[in-house]
Amino acid sequence: MNSPELRAGQTRNLVLATVAFAVSFWAWNMIAPLGVRYTGELGLSAGQKSLLVATPVLVGSVGRILAGALTDRFGGRLMFPVLMVASAPFVLLVAAAGEAESYGLLLVFGFFLGIAGTTFAVGIPFVNSWYEQSRRGFATGVFGAGMGGTALSAFFTPRFVDWFGYVATHVVVAVALVAMATVCWLLMRDAPGWTPNTAPVVPKLAAAVRLPVTWQMSFLYAVAFGGFVAFSTYLPTYLNDIYDFDLTAAGTRTAGFALAAVVARPLGGVLSDRIGPRSVVAISLAGTVVLAIVVAFQPPVEVPAGIAFVALAFFLGLGTGGVFAWVARLAPPEKVGTVTGVVGAAGGLGGFFPPLVMGATYEVLLSGYGVGLTLLAITAAGALAFTLLGVRARTATAPPRLS
C-alpha cells in the first residue's frame, strides 16, 4: 500500500487537510469567544447564553453523519471546498444578527454555522486513505490537531473585534474560508488507492450503525471530544462567572486550554500506534476523572487553576487521538468515512449538552459549576470502565480488520 506515489502526496495532503480543518473550526467557534459580549448586549440569562454557545455544535455534530457518508462517495478533495464555501455566508449572517442585536437570528444563523464543524468527518477518511495502517494513528492524530482552530478563535476573535471591529472580524473569517477552499480545490488530491463507495447513503449508514465499533467508539468519543468541545466553547463564560475575567483575558486562557488538547491529540495517535489505543484512552479518561474533581473545587488563579485546566485539556486531547486511532484499526476501510461521521457526530453531541447542563446547574447544590463537573467525573469513570472491560467483550464480534 505504501507505494512511492502514495508517499509523495502524504505530507502535502495531510497539511492541507489539517489547515482546512483548523480554519473551519475557527469559523465553527465564532460565537463562543464573544458569548460574554452577547450576554451583556442582549441581557441573556445563563440558560439563553448556554443555548447560544451550544447551538452551532448541534449541526456540526449531526451533520458529520451525512458529511462522512458523502466523503466515502465523493472524496475529500471535493467535500472540503464545498463545506467551507457553504459555511462562509453564515459567518456573515451571524455578524448581521449580532449587529441587529437579535437573539433569535443569532440562534438561527448559529445553527447553520455548524456546517463548518462537519469537516472533521471529511478529513479522517481522507487522511486515512493516504496512510498505511501502521501510521494511521499518526495521520489522524496530526489531522485532529486542526481542532486548534478553536484555540485560534478563542485567542484572536476577541482581539480582532478590538482591532478591526465586530463585522470586519466576521468578514475576515469568511474570506479565509473561501480562500482555503480554493487552495484545497487546486492543490488537494484524493489518495491513489481511494475508490468511491457509490452505495446508497441510507443503507450505508444503517450498515455502519450495525457495526459494534461504531457504538463503542461513539460513546468514548462523546466523552473525550465532547468534553473538549464543551470546555472550549463554554470556558470563556465559565472563567467570567467563576474568576471574573473579561472577554479578552478569558479568550486567552481558553486558547491555552485548546492548545494543550491540540498538542495532545497527535501524541495520542502516535502512542496508540506504539502501545495500543486502549491504553491511551484509558490513561486519558483516568486523568479526566481526577482533573474534573480538582477543577470542581475552584482552585485559585493564576497557577493552580491554570495547571488544572491545561492538564484536563491535555488528557481530553490524548483521548480524542486514541479513539480515532482505534476507529482506524477496527472500521472496514470502505466504511471509514461513514463510521467516522457517526462517531464524530457522537463527539459533537457530547459537546452540545454539557454547556446546557452547566448553565442549568450553576450555583445549584454546589458552588459554581460543581454539579456539572461532578457529572463529568462520573461519566468519565464509566467510560474508563467500558474502555477496559466493555470494548474487549464486544470486539470479538466486530468485522475483521482490512488494510
Q: What are phi and psi of 189, to 5 degrees?
A: -140, 145
Q: Compute the average pLDDT of residues 298-303.
A: 84
In this prediction, residue 249 carries a pLDDT of 85
Give the whole-number percent of the chain exceeding pLDDT 70.
Answer: 95
Q: Compute the average pLDDT of residues 375-393.
A: 86
Given a contact cutoff of 8 angstroms between Cβ atoms, the answer to whether 167 and 41 are in contact is no
Q: pLDDT tens, 320-368?
A: 889 988 887 887 777 777 787 788 788 878 877 787 787 788 777 777 7
How many Cα atoms within 13 Å fall on the side-chain side of residue 54? Answer: 22
Q: What is the pTM of this model?
A: 0.74
Which residue, 131, 112, 126, 231, is CA-closest to 189?
126
CB-based burial of residue 286 (10 Å sphere; 0-12 exposed, 13-18 middle, 19+ buried)?
middle
Given a contact cutoff of 8 angstroms between Cβ atoms, the answer to whether 126 and 76 are in contact is yes
Q: Is the dihedral of CA 258, 259, 264, 267 positive or negative?
A: positive
More confident residue, 182 or 196: 182
Q: Quote the DSSP letter at residue 365.
A: S
Q: How far is the C-alpha of 234 from the C-alpha of 279, rounded, in Å?
A: 29
Would you tell me how many other CB atoms lie within 10 Å of the CB of residue 381?
15
Domains of the chain (ranges; CATH) run 4-188+201-390 (1.20.1250.20)
Nearest-10 crossing angle of helices 4-28, 166-187? 160
Evaluate if residue 300 carries a pLDDT over 70.
Answer: yes
What type of residue is 265? R
Q: How far is the C-alpha of 269 from the C-alpha of 108, rounded, in Å?
A: 36
Evaluate if residue 291 carries a pLDDT over 90.
Answer: yes
Helix (H) or strand (E) holding 119: none
Q: pLDDT tens, 194-250?
A: 888 777 878 878 888 888 888 889 999 999 988 887 787 788 888 888 888 887 888
Q: How far is the C-alpha of 91 from the C-alpha of 109, rounded, in Å?
A: 8
What type of residue is 99? E
Evaluate if residue 108 carries a pLDDT over 80.
Answer: yes
Q: How far is the C-alpha of 286 from the C-alpha of 313, rounded, in Å?
A: 13
Given a contact cutoff of 8 angstroms between Cβ atoms, the answer to whether 18 and 147 are in contact is no
Helix residue ranges per DSSP H, 276-398: 277-296, 303-330, 336-361, 370-385, 391-394
The three cell numbers of residue 296 are 470542581
